[in-house]
């Protein structure tokens, strides 16, 4: 997993050499998390502050490729115990702006992984494939500095199963397949960041 993250970082670094605009954005905010239902036994993840950073590289007019990292240190309670834990989000996405000017609304989609780490009472950890959707706005204060306001829904996915079927009938023959996932918990993130713009 770490090798993949390092590879993605170097790919973004290479893209930044040819980009019109590169934005570095440290972010701070708050995460509202829910309960994980494990066959009727609930594990509640406490809402808490988040922090992280974004690397945004413009690759087309109003379009950015984005590498993001978010973390919140929190508590999880359930199954007759409470533990300190951390939740990390590693995402690669695409951001689409809708205008140019001082106020720039945007939307984004991303895919990556969510990492859950137990920090007390054990050393359990889990990686889940995840995706995110978000909206927000950039307030461009100058050529080099701006403010980013955002809200995201982060959706970790658990693999439920896969199947492949073939059959022959009166209407002919055919095959089909499918993969199913479920979302064990939704993280609703909201916050702000200071945009530092680097332009070629």
Give the model confidence (pLDDT) of 137-190 as tens digits. 999 999 899 999 999 999 888 765 555 555 565 666 655 555 455 667 889 999
Say how many Å lie between the first and final Cα of the chain, rounded: 32
- The per-residue pLDDT for 123 is 75
Backbone angles phi, psi at 3, to 5 degrees: -65, -40
- Total domains present in the chain: 1
- The per-residue pLDDT for 79 is 65
CATH number at residue 176: 2.40.160.20
- The per-residue pLDDT for 93 is 96
The range of the structural domain enclosing residue 42 comes to 2-199
Alpha helix segments (H runs only) across the chain? 2-16
Tell me the whole-structure pTM to 2 decimals.
0.77
Strand partners, 68: 54, 91
- The per-residue pLDDT for 66 is 96
- The per-residue pLDDT for 177 is 53
- The per-residue pLDDT for 14 is 53
Q: Which residues in the chain land under pLDDT 70? A: 1-19, 37-42, 79-80, 159-183, 200
Give which of 152, 119, 142 is closest to 27, Cα–Cα.
152
Look up residue 68 and give its two tokens. 């993001």
- The per-residue pLDDT for 3 is 55
Look up residue 133 and give its two tokens. 């959707």
Distance from C-alpha of 40 to C-alpha of 75, rounded to nearest angstrom: 20
- The per-residue pLDDT for 166 is 58
């Amino acid at each position: 997993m770490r090798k993949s993250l390092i590879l993605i970082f170097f790919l973004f670094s290479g893209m930044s050499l040819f980009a019109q605009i590169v934005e570095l954005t440290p972010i701070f905010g708050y995460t509202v998390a829910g309960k994980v239902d494990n066959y009727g036994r609930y594990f509640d993840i406490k809402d808490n502050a988040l922090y992280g950073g974004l690397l945004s590289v413009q690759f087309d007019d109003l379009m950015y490729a984005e590498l993001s990292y978010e973390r919140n240190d929190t508590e999880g309670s359930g199954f007759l115990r409470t533990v300190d834990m951390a939740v990390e989000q590693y995402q690669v996405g695409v951001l689409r702006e809708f205008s140019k000017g001082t106020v720039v609304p945007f939307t984004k989609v991303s895919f990556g992984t969510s990492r859950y780490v137990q920090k007390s009472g054990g050393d359990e950890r889990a990686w889940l494939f995840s995706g995110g959707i978000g909206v927000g706005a950039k307030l461009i204060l100058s050529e080099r500095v701006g403010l980013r306001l955002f809200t995201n829904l982060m959706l970790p996915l658990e693999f439920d199963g896969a199947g492949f079927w073939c059959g022959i009938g009166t209407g002919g023959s055919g095959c089909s397949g499918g993969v199913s996932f479920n979302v064990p918990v939704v993280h609703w993130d909201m916050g702000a960041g200071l945009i530092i713009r680097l332009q070629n």
